[in-house]
Each structure stands twice: as C-alpha cells, then as structure tokens.
Structure 1
Amino acid sequence: MATEQNDTKARKIQPRTLAMILSIIIPGLGQMYNRRFLKGCIFLIVTISFLVTTWNFIDIGIWGLFTLGTIPREHHSIQLLIQGLISLIVLGFGIAIYIYNIKDARSDAIARELKRPNPTLFQGMRNFYDNGFPYFMILPGLLMLLFIVVVPLLFMLALAFTDYNQYNAPPRNLLNWVGIQNFVDLTKIDIWKNTFLSVFSWTIVWTVVATTLQIVLGLFLALLVNDPRIKFKRAIRTFLILPWAVPAFVSILIFSALFNPTFGAINRDILSQFNVMIPWLSDPFWAKVALIMIQTWLGFPFVFALFTGVLQSVPRDMYEAADVDGGTRWQKLRHITLPHLLFATAPLLIMQYAGNFNNFNIIYLFNEGNPAVRGQNAGGTDILISWVYKLTFESNNYNMAAAITIIMGLIISVFAFFQFRKTASFKEEGRY
C-alpha cells in the first residue's frame, strides 16, 4: 500500500514542475528531462564554466564587500570594495542565466504536455536571431555601461557610508562601514553644518538667478530681433551668437583677468573714472555678482538661438487672428508667443537649471571658489560641485564628498522629475 501511495504522489507531480525542480538542482537537467539534450548540455557547460572561472573572484569579492579587509597593510579596502561591487554584477549575470534556465525548462515541459513538436537546432537558431539578436547586439554596450558608469556610481555610493578620509586611508588603515554617520555629521558638526548650509544656499541662489537671467535675456533679444521692424536680422543674430562660439573656458579666463581688482580693465579703465574700486575677487559678495554676470553672458546665446528657432515656427495666422480681435502686443505675447515657446523648450530650459546647478567650470576657472571664509572649509563662491572637488582632491575627505554628491544627485533628480511632469510637452508625449 505504501508503494502504491508513493507511486500516486509521483504521478501527481506535473512534468513542468519536475523539470523546474531538476533545473533548480542542476542547471540543464530539466532540459535533458524534456529530451532537449543539446540545450541541457549547453546550460550545464555554461554553469560549470561560470562557477569554475568566477567562484574564487566572487567569494573574495563578497567577503571583502562586507568586511573591507581584516589585516591592515595586507588587505586594501578600496580594492576589496571595487572587487565586491564587480562581484555583485557578475553574480547578477549568473543568477539571470540560472533563472532563464529554470524558465526554459518549464516552457519546454509545457510544450511536451501540449504535444507540440520541439524545434530543431536550426529553428532554435532562427528564433534566437529573430527575437534575441537585438539584445545580443546591445550586450557589449550594456557591459561597457555597467563597468564604466554603474560601477563608479556604486563605488561613490559605497564611499558615503565609510570612514575614508585623509586620516584613515588604505593600505595603512582599513576602512569601516559607518552607516549614515557622514550624513549626520553634515547636520550636527558645526564646521560641516555651517559650510553645507552656506554652500547649499549659494548654490540655489546661483542656479536660480544666473539661469533665469540668461533665459530672460535670451528671450528678450529673440523677441526683439524677431520683430518685423528690425533690419539686418542675420547680422544681428550672428553677432549675438558669437559668445557661444568662443570656448567657455577661454571666456572665463578672460573675464577672470578683466575682473582682477589690481590690473583688470573693469576697475582700472572703467570704474576708476568714477573713483570706484570694487574687490571682485577678494569679497565674496562681489565675486558672486561677477560670476552671475559672466554666466548670463555665457548662457544667453544658446537660449537666444533656441527661442529664435522656435519663434519661426509660430503660425502667422494666430497673430493675424489676434489682430482682427483687437489683441494688444502684450496679449499676443502672453497668450500666443510664450505658451508656444515654453511648450517646445521647457525640457531644455529645465536642463539649463540642472546644468548650472553643477556648473563646475565657471566657479573653478574664475577664482577656484575663493575667497576663503572664516569658520568654513569651502570658499565664498564654492557651489556644491566645486566643494566636492576640493574635498576629494585637496583635503582627501572622500567620504564626505561622496555623501554630498548623493545629496546633489537626489536634489537634481527630484527637481527634474517634478518639473518634467508639469511641463505640457511631457504630458502630450505619445498622444500623437
């Protein structure tokens, strides 16, 4: 009786379930159970090859990721951390193949249950070409993306939760996981809290004021040049786009010399006529004013060219209909021109704000974020990105730099997401 009961239980197990169980135990065994011997051998060979070639690397990598080493001078925490991150990616590929092996065994078992003929090797290769060829072609690019972009990002994220700084650096010392302590220090330790609040507030002011001014100036000039009463439009447009044609770093270095309070032409040749000498580089307020003016000069040509192109696409019929209805210039600007401009350019304008939030070049090339400020470890004109640069390459506070970078990324991501969601161009996408 016991034997008959066991036989009955065995019969109740469906082939698809048995194939999955066999593939879970040994990859490829489920395919062999389904009489797909060649496919089963391929899965088995791939599994064995993967384990033989990567087991030791993954084993050390996962151990190093959790411990960051145990013997100073012998174990290098940074190398172990990077190896651990790469191990996670390699392990992810292995798990993906393992899961695919289980699903494939189940689908083959279902085909057997439905008495569908198994595809031949040629048919299988043809199906792979039709369905999987695009994925196979993007695989090299995906791998490069993982190891060139994703791994450095994960490494930066990991550093934010360690104690990696100039006083605790491998291989002399081992790193330790400190959780969110670095983020707590930004809000509790006076020098970090004061510096972060000062730099963050200036970064917001810099982003909003400088970007808004360049957009307003570009819009004003585009509307002015587009007026039918203006002649020599091509020459004027060419002249206004010239600042965009000159490399930005060249313009910034020239402005740095012009604003020099000692020998700069602005103080020596212009303001001296009114007996005025402004400390452009030594006073934080005037340095910020100079930076905003320079960014307005550098940024308005792109906005001008953008708005000029969009203005050419506004239907003339709309203006003619407004004239017939007695619409004023302000009403036409408010109800026709501006909605059309903002609908077409809103995503790019948002990217202007995001770009200036991380505009490292102008801050560093103009005066390296100086002048110094008492009680802070950042300069008076440093924004978050330039402060992160100094923390990384000058004071070697890698952990705090990584923590600030995460905060910056979250701010930009949240801002861009909500602004894109509110733009009409985003809402209308895919309707036509």
Structure 2
Amino acid sequence: MTQNKVYVVGVGMSKFIKPRGEVDYPEFALEAAVKALNDAGVSYDAVEYAAVGYVYGDSTAGQRVLYQLGMTQIPIINVNNNCSTGSTALYQARNAVASGTVECAMALGFEKMARGSLSSTFSDRTNPLDHVMMVMMQERGFDPKAPGAAQIFGNAGIAYMEKYGATPKHLAKIAEKNHRHSARNPYSQFRDVYSLEQVEQAPKVYGPLTKLQCCPTSDGAGCSIVASEAFVKKYNLWDQAVEIVAQVMATDSPRMLTTDAIEWAGCDMTRRAAAQAYQKAGITPNDVQVIELHDCFSANELLTYEGLGLTPQGKAHTLIDSGDNTYGGKYVINPSGGLISKGHPLGATGLAQCTELVWQLRNWTGDRQVANAKYALQHNVGLGGAVVVTIYKKANQGSCQPRVGYNPAVEARHITQDDYNKAASKQKNRAEFLEAKL
C-alpha cells in the first residue's frame, strides 16, 4: 500500500533528571511539547492528532498535559508499550500522517518514575512477562535480590559470551563509551566520565553487569511534530525537515520462549524490524552513520549490534575492539550517552532518541556532532514485547538555524512565558485556568 511521505519538523525534550517529587509530569511534558512546537514554528492549532506515551500513570494523562496548550478537541491517544512506548507513540503519529488522515500530528512521551529499580505495579494479576520469567528460572535460576530486567538482559549477555567469546570487559567498554558521550549532552541525567576500571569495579547488579552498566530510573519528556509533504511545503520547513524514510514495529517471535537466553531479550523482533526497515529505506547498515539504540543495559547494546546487522552473527564484540562504535569509527552509537547515562524515563526515551537524531542530521549538536551524517538509525525496544526501528534522512541537505533564539541541541533551557504563548492554541475556547505556570 502506498503511503504518503512523513517528516519530523519539530523536536524538543526536557532535561532528564533523577525522580523527585517537586516536579510533576504536566510541567516537564508541557516543556517538551512547547519546545517541539516552537522548533516547528507552529502553534498547537496546527496539530490534528496526538499520541501520548507513558508507562506509569493514570488514564488520560496525555489529555491532562495537552489541555494546557488548548482544548481543541483533537484525538489524543494514550500509549503504553513498556520501554518502547515513546517510539510507539511516534509510530502512531507517523501512521496518522502517512495514511492521509491528518497533515500534522504530535508524538509526546513522558515519565514520572519512582526511585530504585523497576518492579511490577500490580501483584493481583498475571505479569505480562511471566512466560519468559518461567523459562529463565528453569534454565538459569532466579536471584530474588536482583531486578528482573537486569536478569533477563544479563543472562542474554552471559549466553552471548558463552557462545561467541565476548567478555565482561566488552560490556564495560560499552558503558565507558556511553558515559563519555554523555558529558557532551546537556540533557543527560549523568554527565560524569568514568574510566574502564571504574565501570568494572562499580557495585555488581547481576552477573557481569555493574551499576554503571545499567540505566537509571528518570523523570523527563520528549516530543516530536510530524507532518506531510504538503504541510512542509505550506510552512516552508524544508531546510529543517527530517524524513522518516522507514519505520517498522515488530513483536516477539516464539524464539523468545526457547532455552536460548540470547532470545529472552527480544533479539528476534529486532532482527525482523531492522531487516524490514533497511528494505523499505533502500539502504544497508553500511549507509548509516549515527545510531541511537536501546542500551538499557550494556549487554543489550552488545546484542543489538548484531540484531541491527552492524556486525555478522557472533561478531558484535569485534565492533567494540575496532572502535567502530564511537567517534572516529564506522558508526557513532549513542552520541547522546544512551539510556545508561542520559537516563531512561520509559515513555520519553524513544522521543528523546528521535530528538537527538534530528539534531544530528541538522548538524546542530556541536562537540558531539557526527561528521557527514546522512542517515540516522533509531532502535527502541520494550520487553513483553515491542520494538520500533526507524531510519531518518534530512529532506534538504542545506543548512538551517534554530528559530528559538538559541541552539537547543547544545543548551538545555527551560521554556519561557513567551515560548508558551507562541505554542498555545489561539482558539477562544482555550480554558484560561489551564495556562502554564511558568
């Protein structure tokens, strides 16, 4: 079926922070939405559809956030797809534009999390991961003192090492790289640089995984405005528009429930989504320069190298040894610092990845800029499971300048009243009591 072209025309995000009580989700989610609208140079009146993603929150929290911009009565769909929630919202928004249903849509993701490791919210019903947890307990046991997700990804990494000869040092090198990258990102929750030895000697979480190889819980938000070709032309957005040349979502295959621990981390759905995305885009992994992938644990980054086709089967660790996963190598992977250091507010992660890649393709990212970036690849996965793989390309190779008076890719400012006024609906039915408290 022929689909219309879809472009990202505006992006924005809040700084990712440690979970704390004094800042609530309506505030930082509004910040991301206002920034994305200002980046696109349009108000909320231009948005005809919104997909809003979050994992921890009550129903219709998306409406609670967006009503601050205006009660324009557009469809607002709330999305929960575990750690791939943000990209699932983007997938929904892109589909609305690609189908011709609307000309402009918003994908917004946010999370307000509790401190400490992730745990199940409900104890009186079946856990969605009970099937893979049962297989894991039978094959590798279960450590009641370690987080369940760390055990799934940790065991997958252990199995990869047993099968292909990778070592714990390879996992530590991934984390060292991502912490080093995050020092250049003003939106990162953590910006400290650690030596390889410090990563290796950090407190153990599970198996070879140390604390510095595991993503933290985080609060934060990200937003993307996507639009049709006609919309881009109408508002003269070609210089900043970034085309979504391919986007594929996949769920688990039966391999996830086999005794192969590598597959417990959802590797097969990554393989499927990536292969289809390359085919749709008409490119190969060799055409990509910059990648934001889902490194919730260092082990998952290792596995994803292979899943995305960046290396042959069983050779993921050679990408690390060659330096082809960082600046100066074949790919720059997680220039933002990734989930490990930038943070992982579940609903926001996929949209923060999109934001970073759009900034990279616009050549805005300063001292973390990837040279000659033409194609960008995004990978966002959630256990249970869903994965979204997206490939981006700048629509016009000409340069563009930020329209907000500063470069948001290198400076994480809060929004002002003027920023809000530009973004908010101009319709008379906007409820005044919902105006932002800035």
Task: Give TM-score, length-normalised by structure 1.
Answer: 0.20
Larger radius of gyration: 1
Return the structure number with greater relative CO, CA threshold 8 A, min gap 6: 2
Q: Which structure's residues are more often helix, by fraction?
A: 1
Q: Which has the higher strand share?
A: 2
* TM-score (normalizing by structure 2): 0.20
